[in-house]
Amino acid sequence: MEKETLVLENTVKENVLEVDDNNFPIGEISRREMREKNVWHRASYIYVKNSKNELCIHLRSSKKELYPGHWDVCAGGCMNYGLTDEENATKELAEEYGVQGVKLDFVCSVRKEIDISKSYLSIFVCEWDGEIKVQEEEVQEYKWVTLGQLREDFLENPEVNMKPEGVEVLEMLIKHYGYLKE
């Protein structure tokens, strides 16, 4: 697997919710400081499928602080201080895909720790058949793919860079929750 990528000069100037290693809120911390110190924080992942059982995936902007220019299987991001899990997921979905007014279903929370990030992920799923309007600062392009296409064209293709955490959580959703069953 490719080494994790972090580009601090692309860090957005906003404050996020810092939590302890048991997910108990500590307070507000700048996003930059959170990245520099690699402290625990919360984030939201939102998996979007349509009525044809296709998953919306996207190519992350080259300006993203984590995994710039990598394909991702979910929308999402760090939780802004003062928001609930669902409010943050709603905000991230609107920012990345232009999707608003959709019912989000909370699935579970996942503790994820890698070399460059420690987070508690709130996992949401939704169904959307409307238009996707990507925000260029967040997303370069998007595609609707079946699970088979995702595996063959992206996951099994060594030339395609994928954001690994999103894929790992998706595999868990498929295995334990029956999400995207073919």
Three-state DSSP state, 168: helix
Number of domains in the chain: 1
In a domain, 23, yes or no: yes
User: Is 106 inside any structural domain?
Assistant: yes
Q: CA dist 15 to 29, 33, 34, 124, 177, Å?
A: 5, 9, 9, 22, 33
Q: Which pair of tokens denotes residue 97? A: 């895909």
pLDDT tens digits for range 1-60:
344 544 444 445 689 999 999 999 999 999 999 999 999 999 999 999 999 999 999 999
User: Could you identify the residue written with the tokens 């995207």?
Assistant: 180
CATH number for the domain that contains residue 105: 3.90.79.10
Domain that holds residue 101: 8-147+158-177
Q: Is residue 2 part of a domain?
A: no
- pLDDT tens digits, residue range 104-139? 999 999 999 988 889 999 999 999 999 999 999 999
Backbone φ, ψ for residue 111 (5° rounding): -90, 125
pTM of the predicted structure, to 2 decimals:
0.91
